[in-house]
Amino acid sequence: MPMALSRYHPALTEEGLRTNPESHYFERKGRDTKPGKIANELIGMLNAGGGTLVYGIADDGVVEDLQEGSLLPDTPLDLDRYRKLVHEFIVPPANIELEEIYLPCGALIFLYHVEQDYERLFARSDNEAVYLRVAADNKGPLNREEVKKLEYNRNVRAYEDELREDFHSDDFDSATCESYRKSMRYTGSFEELALKRRLAERKGDQIVFKNAAILLFASDPSQYIANAYVRYVRYNGTELKPGSQFNVVKDESFEDNIPNLIKRLEAFVNASLRDYYYLNMENGRFERVPEYPKDAWLEGIVNALCHRSYNLQGNTIYIKHFDDRLEISNSGPLPAQVTIENIREQRYARNPQLARVLADMQYVRELNEGVPRIFNAMRESMLAQPAYKDEAGIVTLTLRNKVSDHKETIFSETLERVESRWENLHTSQRQIIQLLFERQEMAVAEFEELMPLSRQTIRLNLKHLIELGIVERLSEKKRDPNALYRFLNK
């Protein structure tokens, strides 16, 4: 097992510092980065969700020993400036711990451990410039309107940081707590780890946990935080119908801590979704395609759990499943600089404590990947682009499918006959199969409109497919011009 380097963050190893991708919570800076530039990065982390900055390892992962001086000629490296920069450049006073680490090779690096702070806005002491870490980048200096939005959202984010003296540690789910402790490679107790990760505070001889800890680790968070659950509703059709036409066929609620909710919803939704087939015209094989790509719907659920406004306790997270779409909604509105127009590029964690712990437990990937992954997954599955809307304080993600285009079930025996005889079918017969797959049932006249063949030739091809046990004719009359043809379903 790789050796841990940091007493503040036991999961950090030399290999991780060199090779882990930069993220919302992690930044590398080479030896010749100026103190003011590092201060800007630290301010961005303070105004976001905290994190770790390593000074002495370049962006490409090369260790640059701070004992060797500057890479630039005639430019001495004054390490004392880097030791003092937190006090010289940042206001108000910030909770940043500096560790001076000697790697096994003997090289010296600095680790700046930035703790999140919900109550204050941080800026440069010399010019009052404000920065904000967004995904793996430092945004700023922010303009006046952006600073105003940041101040507003910090008030909302403070909810997860509230202490709950009415909560007792007996109500924790021990398995989830232990899973987190192991993921952090922490040898002490869960309570000690919670204190280190600012999920709790010590008051006298008592440890008082925060709302974030309850949402992440309690057996039943909804006992303490109203509507901290997820509700799945399945509708028969494409719209909600009232009264006697009420069309809800399944309505289930899921109450658990967030890591367990992710696991349970992943299994439940996966079992609830349907598959459809895509006919590969090159090899004649029917390829199974899910109703929605898992990367899209699971990422949408995780995002809703991670970024919900839990202080707005009148709303819960909804997963509404219609025949033609999946809607995932949570209480909003969109945070800070994020809008419907820039949601694919702009990132901001409404609940940075939740996001950080879920990232530590590998339930959440980097903040700059989530929404783009949803868009990419839908595009790769040849489905409509995801749609977001922000209305009346509710943010909704809509994923649309193509299953409604393939309502009829095709018997597995028929699929096997198509695939086994595909090489011996000529182009016209293959085209008939493709049209039936897309439209389920067709008359000869409909084939004639779409194919450059005579009616007689179409009838001969259909007759051949009937003899092969692929197609059947739906009419008892021998001469029925309106007879329908479909795949054999028996």
**CA-based nearest residue to 436, from 398, 471, 389:** 471
Q: What pLDDT was estimated at residue 45?
A: 95
Do 412 and 397 share a structural domain? no
- Could you tell me the pLDDT band of residue 75, with boundaries at 50, 70 and 90? low
**Is there a domain that residue 153 lies in?**
no
Do 396 and 259 share a structural domain? yes
Residue 216 main-chain phi, psi, to 5 deg = -85, -30
Each residue's pLDDT tens digit, 22-49: 998 999 999 999 999 999 999 999 998 8
**Is there a domain that residue 3 lies in?**
no
Question: Which of these ranges, 71-75, 294-298, 381-385, has the smallest mean pLDDT?
Answer: 71-75
Percent of the chain surpassing pLDDT 70: 90
Do 191 and 111 share a structural domain? no
Average pLDDT of the residues in 274-298: 80
Q: What pLDDT was estimated at residue 408?
A: 47
Q: What pLDDT was estimated at residue 319?
A: 97
**Is there a domain that residue 49 lies in?**
yes
* DSSP assignment of 105-153: TS-EEEEEEEPP-SS---EETTT----EEETTEEE-S--HHHHHHHHHH
Average pLDDT of the residues in 11-27: 92
Average pLDDT of the residues in 114-139: 89
Q: Which CATH number fits the domain that encloses residue 95?
A: 3.30.950.30
**Is there a domain that residue 312 lies in?**
yes
Do 242 and 205 share a structural domain? no
Each residue's pLDDT tens digit, 373-426: 899 988 887 788 999 998 877 899 999 987 555 444 566 778 888 989 999 999
pLDDT at 347 over 70: no
Task: Please report, to the nearest 10 degrees, the dihedral formed by the alpha carbons of residues 217, 222, 226, 231 taken in order.
Answer: 110
Contacts within 8 Å (CB) and 24+ apart, 68-73 = 68/31, 70/31, 70/32, 71/30, 71/31, 71/32, 72/32
pLDDT at 354 over 50: yes
Percent of the chain surpassing pLDDT 90: 59
- Do residues 25 and 49 lie in contact, with contact meaning Cβ atoms separated by under 8 Å? yes
- Could you tell me the pLDDT band of residue 1, with boundaries at 50, 70 and 90? low
Q: Which CATH number fits the domain that encloses residue 296?
A: 3.30.565.60
- Could you tell me the pLDDT band of residue 76, with boundaries at 50, 70 and 90? low
What DSSP character marks residue 3? P
**Among 385, 405, 425, where does a domain finish?**
405
Q: Which residue has the higher pLDDT, 131 or 437?
A: 131
**CA-based nearest residue to 130, from 22, 209, 40, 218:** 40
Q: What pLDDT was estimated at residue 335?
A: 66
**Is there a domain that residue 1 lies in?**
no
Do 339 and 249 share a structural domain? yes
Q: Which CATH number fits the domain that encloses residue 446?
A: 1.10.10.10
- Do residues 133 and 47 lie in contact, with contact meaning Cβ atoms separated by under 8 Å? yes
**Is there a domain that residue 418 lies in?**
yes
Q: What pLDDT was estimated at residue 114?
A: 95
Average pLDDT of the residues in 4-29: 90
Q: What pLDDT was estimated at residue 258?
A: 97
**Is there a domain that residue 157 lies in?**
no
To which residue do tokens 């006090």 refer? 87
Q: Which tokens sit at 79?
A: 């390490």
- Could you tell me the pLDDT band of residue 368, with boundaries at 50, 70 and 90? very low
Q: How many domains is the chain built from? A: 4
pLDDT at 337 over 70: no
Do 178 and 76 share a structural domain? no
Do 35 and 18 share a structural domain? yes
**Is there a domain that residue 377 lies in?**
yes
Q: How far apart are CA 383 and CA 379, in angstroms?
A: 6
Do 423 and 337 share a structural domain? no
Do 412 and 385 share a structural domain? no
Each residue's pLDDT tens digit, 245-270: 889 999 999 999 999 999 999 999 99
- Could you tell me the pLDDT band of residue 156, with boundaries at 50, 70 and 90? low
The sign of the torsion formed by the CA atoms of 239, 242, 244, 246 equals positive
Each residue's pLDDT tens digit, 233-249: 999 988 988 877 889 99
Length of the chain: 490
SS3 458: helix
- Could you tell me the pLDDT band of residue 291, with boundaries at 50, 70 and 90? confident
Q: What pLDDT was estimated at residue 369?
A: 64
Do 176 and 108 share a structural domain? no
Mean pLDDT score across all residues of the chain = 88
Do 419 and 390 share a structural domain? no
Q: How far apart are CA 462 and CA 352, in angstroms?
A: 62
Q: How far apart are CA 114 and CA 98, in angstroms?
A: 9
Q: What pLDDT was estimated at residue 52?
A: 95
SS3 170: helix
Most confident of the ranges 43-52, 209-218, 374-383, 438-447: 209-218
Q: How far apart are CA 284 and CA 199, in angstroms?
A: 56
Do 421 and 389 share a structural domain? no
Domain extent, residue 477, equals 408-487
Q: What pLDDT was estimated at residue 372?
A: 87
- Could you tell me the pLDDT band of residue 332, with boundaries at 50, 70 and 90? confident
